[in-house]
């Protein structure tokens, strides 16, 4: 089976934590499933969990080139040059990173409040951008936006391939069969 979870803010992408922080196990009580990829503790949105090792590898391997769409609330107003830099490539400590696409968007419709909310500064505007990547390096989107001069204030993974958080509130999940999952790839 494939479990689609809308991971809340400040939840670890694992099933246990010796320090008592919230984990996937606080939300998904399905035996034998494991994350197909990770999502940072301070990021929100879609996580996929599966009991099929081959499906897990297919989803999480960078060679699969499965697009991952993120909504990033960034500090400032992105210029066309900054958005182009994300697609043309920005240099990170672990090498160049490129987005498949990057564009400014309106605040996503139906977006839930985050607790605690992001900091608000009257003198510094913030903007939402949509960025699509096919890799998944550690904190990659945050590092890319920072390198382009657009520090990320809030990050939500909206989709992985054809799966999305549509109709999933934070902490909620749904499951599909492995057959449906493989057919969607």
Alpha-carbon distance 124 to 46, whole Å? 29
Alpha-carbon distance 67 to 65, whole Å? 6
User: pLDDT at position 118, please?
Assistant: 86
The residue written with tokens 């500064």 in the block is 121
Alpha-carbon distance 13 to 23, whole Å? 6
| 80-97: average pLDDT | 96
- Per-residue confidence at 62, pLDDT binned at 50, 70, 90? confident
- Per-residue confidence at 154, pLDDT binned at 50, 70, 90? very high
User: pLDDT at position 122, please?
Assistant: 75
126 given a catalytic annotation: no
Name the least confident of 25-29, 54-58, 117-121: 117-121
Alpha-carbon distance 127 to 61, whole Å? 31
* Contact by Cβ (8 Å): 168, 160: no
Alpha-carbon distance 149 to 95, whole Å? 17
13-44 residue pLDDT tens: 999 999 999 999 999 999 999 999 999 999 99
Alpha-carbon distance 82 to 157, whole Å? 20
User: pLDDT at position 47, please?
Assistant: 98
Catalytic residue among 17, 40, 51, 126: 40
- Per-residue confidence at 123, pLDDT binned at 50, 70, 90? confident
Domains of the chain and any CATH numbers: 1-64+164-179 (3.30.70.580), 67-160 (3.30.70.1560)
Beta strands in 15-100 (DSSP E): 34-35, 44-50, 68-75, 90-92, 95-97
Alpha-carbon distance 100 to 158, whole Å? 15
Residues in the chain: 185
User: pLDDT at position 49, please?
Assistant: 98
Which tokens go with 34? 């494991």
Is residue 136 pLDDT above 90, yes or no? Answer: no
Q: Please provide the DSSP assignment of 31-51 as one string.
A: TT-EESS---TT-EEEEEEES
* Contact by Cβ (8 Å): 165, 70: no
Alpha-carbon distance 30 to 182, whole Å? 20
């Amino acid at each position: 089976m494939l479990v689609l979870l809308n991971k809340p803010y400040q939840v670890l992408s694992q099933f246990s934590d010796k320090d008592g922080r919230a984990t996937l196990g606080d939300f998904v009580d399905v035996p034998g499933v494991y994350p197909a990829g990770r999502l940072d503790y301070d990021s929100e949105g879609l996580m996929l969990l599966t009991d099929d090792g081959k499906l897990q590898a297919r989803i999480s391997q960078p060679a699969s080139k499965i697009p991952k769409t993120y909504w990033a609330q960034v500090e400032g107003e992105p210029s066309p040059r900054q958005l182009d830099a994300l697609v043309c490539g920005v240099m990170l400590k672990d090498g160049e990173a490129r987005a498949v696409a990057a564009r400014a968007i309106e605040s996503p419709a139906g977006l839930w409040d985050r607790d605690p909310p992001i900091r608000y500064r009257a003198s510094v505007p913030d903007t939402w951008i949509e960025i699509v990547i096919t890799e998944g390096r550690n904190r990659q989107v945050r590092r890319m936006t920072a390198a382009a001069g657009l520090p990320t204030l809030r990050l939500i993974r909206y989709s992985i391939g054809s799966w999305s958080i549509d109709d999933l509130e934070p902490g909620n999940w749904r499951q599909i069969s492995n057959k449906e999952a493989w057919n969607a790839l």
